[in-house]
Amino acid sequence: MTRIIELAEHKTPQLERHELESFVRSFQNRREEFLSLVNQYGSPLYVIDESALRRRAREFLEAFDDDVPGHRAYYALKSNNHPTIASILLSEGYGLDVSSGEELSLALSLGAQDIIFSGPGKTVAELELAVRHSHRVTVLMDSIGELERLELIAARLAQPIRTGVRLTTDDEGIWRKFGIPLDSLRLFMTRAARCKFVTLRGLQFHMSWNLSPDNQVVFIARLGAALRELDRKQRGMIEFIDVGGGYWPPRGEWLQERSTPAGRLRYAVEEQVRPRAGHYRLPAAPIMRFAQHIARALKTQVLADVTCAIYTEPGRWLSHEAMHLLLRVVDRKADDLVITDAGANAIGWERFEYDYFPVINLSRPAPVEHDCYVMGSLCTPHDLWGYSYFGEDVQPGDVLLIPTQGAYTYSLRQHFIKALPTVVSLPPAGTSTSAAGDAQSLTG
């Protein structure tokens, strides 16, 4: 009962109206760019926003390069695996972080020269691929079993391979699937030192969904204590420490009522739930604060005992603003219900029952938000884009924009009932819309 009362009384911060309206206006001001793409290529469309991606890429590097010594950033390909996204980030000086043989093959085909291969349960075929390209790939091992398999494969191919080992940040629960416990690090390094072909040169950890650097700072302190328990030779093996990703984009997490503690309780006890007006926001620390706090923790807890480079693996933070969705209204079934030509298979899951992003009517722009169920065209009632739209009105044929859908949407897309949107690209700032490129050549 106490917990129920706590949930009912918990107040999630509201998304400030001025912030939301400013965000919407920034896209309404670009409506001609988006409408021209729909006129040229039809709908629905994934739209790659190269300017937004390059801006974020440079901002991240500036923050970490200024504060973190020996910094090297690797884009987490899983957050958005479109080749154009990865190619742009390669041109901005990033390496690639891959989590499967499929992603590794893509990274190799793009000409990436510096790849880190992480993830549990790597198959023999995947490890063989990494070993055959050992001059371009560092394998982040996930267990002692994987260390032993990799040594056998590298010996068979007579090819040394540079590696690191992942450290789990939670010794209990489902996150144990990733990496080894800190208290097993000495044993792992002892085993690795006996290998003839596997060369252990680094450590990695990853903490996901970070709105602030607090969790990363706490684990760095734990890591520092573990490193001080190693002997000098073992500490000398460490050439890099990879602090992973998980940095939340700067606008924070925007939520529907259903994702708030009070909303979860309401949806659990009421049979028919109509969403209440209002949007919610969990604030995120700016990337500069992440860099400063992580750098300070590394300096005080780690770098006094170990001389090494520092790696990061940003994914969501980079790709979040790099792709938008354009849809067209097909049917208006009621004043408060419209159907669009794209379904939630384009983003892979029923995201917008929980997350909030404004639906912006580019055909009838206005700074007013109207209550309306904006639904997709799949045969499921959970196929939802939002409970409202910004615009003067909404009618069949109108073009709707769902902005900033670059992270963990395109990568999760699925061929379910409806065809997937075509991929097109907005031209970089300062070029004409006609230079956007051939949509077919970007389809992926």
pLDDT digits (tens, 9 = 90+) for 244-266: 999 999 999 999 998 898 888 88
* Percent of the chain topping pLDDT 70: 94
Mean pLDDT of 18-41: 97
Q: Is the pLDDT of residue 233 over 50?
A: yes
Query: Helix, strand, coil proportions of the chain in percent (round to 5)?
Result: 40, 20, 40
pLDDT at position 435 is 38
Q: Percent of the chain beyond pLDDT 90? A: 86
Region(s) of the chain under CATH 3.20.20.10: 51-249+284-319
What pLDDT score does 2 carry? 59
Give pLDDT tens digits for 408-421.
999 999 999 999 99
**Model confidence at 439: pLDDT above 50:** no
CB 330 within 8 A of CB 92: no
Host H or E run for residue 248: none
The boundaries of every CATH 2.40.37.10 domain in the chain are 17-48+320-428
Give residue 119's pLDDT. 96
List all residues 6 or more positions away from 245 whose beta carbon is below 8 Å from its beta carbon: 76, 97, 206, 208, 312, 313, 314, 315, 316, 317
| 274 pLDDT more than 60 | yes
Domain 51-249+284-319: which CATH number of 3.20.20.10, 3.40.47.10, 3.40.50.800, 3.10.20.340: 3.20.20.10
Tell the CATH topology of 17-48+320-428.
Lyase, Ornithine Decarboxylase; Chain A, domain 1 (2.40.37)
- Dist. CA 400–CA 137, nearest whole Å: 42
State the average pLDDT over residues 169-197.
Answer: 95
- Residues 6 or more apart whose CB falls under 8 angstroms from that of 442 comprise 48, 82, 84, 422, 423, 424, 425
Q: What pLDDT, on the 0 to 100 scale, is given for residue 6?
A: 54
| Sign of the C-alpha dihedral computed for residues 303, 305, 310 and 311 taken in this order | negative
pLDDT given at position 438: 44
Task: Give the containing element (helix H, strand E) for 16.
Answer: none
Helices (H) and strands (E) in the chain, counts: 15, 18
